[in-house]
Amino acid sequence: MSAQQKTIRLTMAQALVRYLAALRIDTPGSEVALFGGVFSIFGHGNVAGLGEALYQYREQLPTYRAHNEQAMAHAAIAFAKSNMRRRMMAVTSSIGPGATNLLTAAALAHVNRLPVLLLPGDIFVSRRPDPVLQQVENFQDGGVSANDAFKPLSRYFDRIYYPEQLLTALPRAIQVLTDAAQCGPVTLALPQDVQAMAYDYPVEFFLPPLVRFRAQAPATDELHAASELLKNARQPLIIAGGGVLYGEATEALRSFAEKHGVPVAETQAGKSSLAWRHPLQLGALGVTGSPAANMLAAKADVVIAVGTRLQDFTTGSHSLFGQAKLLSINVNPIDAIKWQGTPLVADSRLGLAALSQGLGDWHASAGWHALALEQANAWRAAVDTITGQREVAATALPYDGEVIGAVQRSSIDSTVHDIVVCAAGTLPAELHKLWRTSTPGGYHVEYGYSCMGYEIAGGLGVKMAQPDRDVIVMVGDGSYLMMNSEIATSVMLGCKLIVVVLDNRGYGCINRLQQACGGAAFNNMLEDCLQGPLGAPAIDFAAHARSLGALAESVKSISQLEAALQRARAADRSYLVCIDTDPSHSTEEGGCWWEVAVPEVSQRAQVQAARAEYEQARDNQKV
């Protein structure tokens, strides 16, 4: 540091917090803080160092307390997803269990390409008190702590051994968090003695430039190759992935589709890219897809994959696309070259716009365009029927599709105003097929990691990002029981959630999958599990939610559910409605094969039959 440079003496933790609080993004009309706040559960390893710093800067960078580290990281990740990755949060924990509780969330953010800054406390760099409480001792490597487990789950990992290191580590961390291609979790492990150590930081460091989100333009040669491929196509199909939303490309997508007559199918992360009632909207694609989207996928000659990582649910484990050639528009080159696709490495908005220009008046064939309009229309009509109330015996239980219909009917502008949040179980498939939304981000389903327990915590983060919209968490009994404590946090913070619990008394979707693979009903539904003399308790989800400070009720029918949802929408705090549902029923329309490995030998005839079917289905897979 030069002698003239002005410095300020701060602890490493104070410098870290001061830097995070100073970061601003350039949004039209105003500057907004990049970080919406810090979720923190204190313990040894963060309370003294980082805790002191967070208190000092609490006006500029609010600190939120939750009940479980994994859950608060889910909330932080959902906040970023709901902000289309333009704003984010940090998460701090103590050392040991507090830190390792964050690992699942790190993996979730990694898979979903979502930014979150993880700040786990770490063991003493001095090693003086070794082994400190909660220290995992490694006898081969003195430098290893539990936090090394974050390395494979982080897009950038650093351990801050000395306060000065922040000067290089923080700009790198922010670069990764705000880069469209690299985006994912960043972990800065913070040894507790270093958090408390002071250093003379240059004052300038705390005046960082505005954070800008780079949008990469396509290269001329790739653009040319992509246009040539498409000009010969007659039956094209667009797959809209999460990159359409994160690239703010929904308008570019709509005008591309309209100008060139190309129908659109959406992945889980990409759903809400195009309004549900757009004539070229085929709906969800793949294993959880609509018949319209899957039929056109099978017949397409060129599939234009935009901002998708092409996971197996999208490709039907590589069985869905027939003979189609693949054109991949993606900011991430690794995604763009998947499956021998023709890569167009670019930001989704710029890529679509440039491609459209290069294509001139190229248009899908008239017959293909007409087929797309007809299929899209037929699927919209089918969804009306599926989500309407069935004529059923009074004793029959409703299933998830009807519950979804009731939720959407409970508001006149559900497709504009509501954000549905979900992650695992039967619901993601049903919601992917049936949920209707007209606004980007109106569908928030975490299906990259499909992590049970994301739902309520994620809902909290969504509400923090979108306080003016109704956030509706739809969750199965299994996911609810795995992680629900942030209901109390939602009440405490005044972030109202509407939680709809679908209680089918067990892991319904896995039970169906087990039987589809020839397995016996075993260890999924409560009735199929080992039980003591008292059997499985009848869980009162409404009473449970009330104990956490929410309002709650249980209902017995779809019409009761609709009435309860009116009360929920009018309520001043989080409100849970629980309804018993049928574990055996799911929407039959749509879907496609998904590869689940069935045992090669088994004493069960059903498994042998499922194995034969499995081997046959694998013949349709592209290798």
- Contact positions toward ligand TPP, by CB under 6 A? 424-427, 450-453, 476-479, 504, 507-510
- The string of DSSP letters for 293-341 reads HHHHHHH-SEEEEES----HHHHTTTTSSTT-EEEEEESSHHHHTGGGP
Q: Taking CB within 5 to 8 Å according to partner kind, which of ligand TPP, Mg ion, none is near residue 185? A: none
CB-nearer residue toward ligand TPP: 237 or 404: 404
Contacts of 243 (CB under 8 A, 6+ apart): 180, 249, 270, 306, 307, 308, 329, 330, 331, 348
Phi, psi for residue 401 in degrees, rounded to 5: -60, -40
Query: Considering the complex, what minimum distance in angstroms separates the CB of residue 33 from ligand TPP?
Result: 32
CB-nearer residue toward ligand TPP: 253 or 403: 403
Sheet harboring 443-445: ordered strands across? 443-445, 418-422, 470-476, 498-503, 575-580, 551-555
The answer to whether residues 157 and 187 touch, using CB atoms and an 8 Å cutoff, is: yes
CB-nearer residue toward ligand TPP: 64 or 507: 507
One-letter amino acid at 356 equals: S
Helix ranges, 57-96 (H): 69-82
Query: Considering the complex, what minimum distance in angstroms separates the CB of residue 605 from Mg ion?
Result: 28
* Tokens 């763009």, located at residue: 336
CB-nearer residue toward ligand TPP: 43 or 508: 508
Query: Considering the complex, what minimum distance in angstroms separates the CB of residue 422 from ligand TPP?
Result: 10
CB-nearer residue toward ligand TPP: 125 or 510: 510
CA distance linking residue 571 with residue 56, whole number of Å: 35
CA distance linking residue 319 with residue 161, whole number of Å: 49
> Which tokens is 521 given?
């009903």
CA distance linking residue 67 with residue 45, whole number of Å: 17
Query: Considering the complex, what minimum distance in angstroms separates the CB of residue 393 from ligand TPP?
Result: 22
Q: Taking CB within 5 to 8 Å according to partner kind, which of ligand TPP, Mg ion, none is near residue 32? A: none
Query: Considering the complex, what minimum distance in angstroms separates the CB of residue 382 from ligand TPP?
Result: 22
CB-nearer residue toward ligand TPP: 124 or 541: 541
Q: Taking CB within 5 to 8 Å according to partner kind, which of ligand TPP, Mg ion, none is near residue 426? A: ligand TPP
63 bridge partner residues: 38
Which residue's CB atom is positioned nearest to ligand TPP?
Answer: 476
Q: Taking CB within 5 to 8 Å according to partner kind, which of ligand TPP, Mg ion, none is near residue 428? A: none
Q: Taking CB within 5 to 8 Å according to partner kind, which of ligand TPP, Mg ion, none is near residue 359? A: none
Tell me whether strands 418-422 and 470-476 are parallel, antiparallel or unpaired: parallel
CB-nearer residue toward ligand TPP: 184 or 478: 478
Q: Taking CB within 5 to 8 Å according to partner kind, which of Mg ion, ligand TPP, none is near residue 451? A: ligand TPP
Q: Taking CB within 5 to 8 Å according to partner kind, which of Mg ion, ligand TPP, none is near residue 178? A: none
Query: Considering the complex, what minimum distance in angstroms separates the CB of residue 458 from Mg ion?
Result: 18
Query: Considering the complex, what minimum distance in angstroms separates the CB of residue 445 from ligand TPP?
Result: 12
3-state secondary structure of 584: coil
For Mg ion, the binding residues (CB under 5 A) are 476-478, 504, 508
